[in-house]
Amino acid sequence: MTWASRFVGAPYADGGRGPDVFDCWGLVRAIYREHLGVDLPSYGEIRAADLRAVARAMGAGKDAEIWAPAKAPREFDVVIMRDGRGGRRVVHVGVMVDATRVLHTTKTTGGAVIVPLAHTSIQVRLPELRRLNVSNCLS
């Protein structure tokens, strides 16, 4: 299996920052810390329901230099997702396992799952890819 196997089935919890229970941002943080050696901000004071501010920051302002848009998915890209009811606001994040599958966690899934990027539960959220620019992150 892949590095993602360790996270599959990990329970979801609002505000979960690991090591074994996660919300969507907590899962991204754990993956980046364990597998890329990058310590992303916790935003521990922000409830999972309010993490849309974190995801929006990935595509705007100063963070746009850190989280560059990616055209073709690859391992460890972050997937930012919009409200599934047709809204434009970003409300969720996940991590690409490879070029076709995303690992994410929500209250609805009950824990971390891997699904195809093309799955309707992801596509209805109008996903966008962001790639970490480590040189801008560390400067």
Q: How is the chain split into domains, by residue range?
A: 3-138
What pLDDT is stored for residue 139 in this prediction?
43
* Letter string b/e over residues 53-70, b meaning 16 or more CB atoms within 10 A of that residue's CB: ebbebbeeeeeeebbeeb
Full-model pTM: 0.84
Give the pLDDT confidence of 93-109 residue by residue, as tens digits.
999 999 999 999 998 98
- Does the domain made of 3-138 have the CATH classification 1.10.520.10? no
Give the pLDDT confidence of 116-134 residue by residue, as tens digits.
999 998 988 888 899 987 6
Instruction: Supply 139's token pair.
Output: 């400067």
Cβ atoms of 59 and 128 within 8 Å: the answer is yes
Instruction: Supply 2's token pair.
Output: 């892949």
CA atoms of 58 and 50, how far apart (whole Å): 14
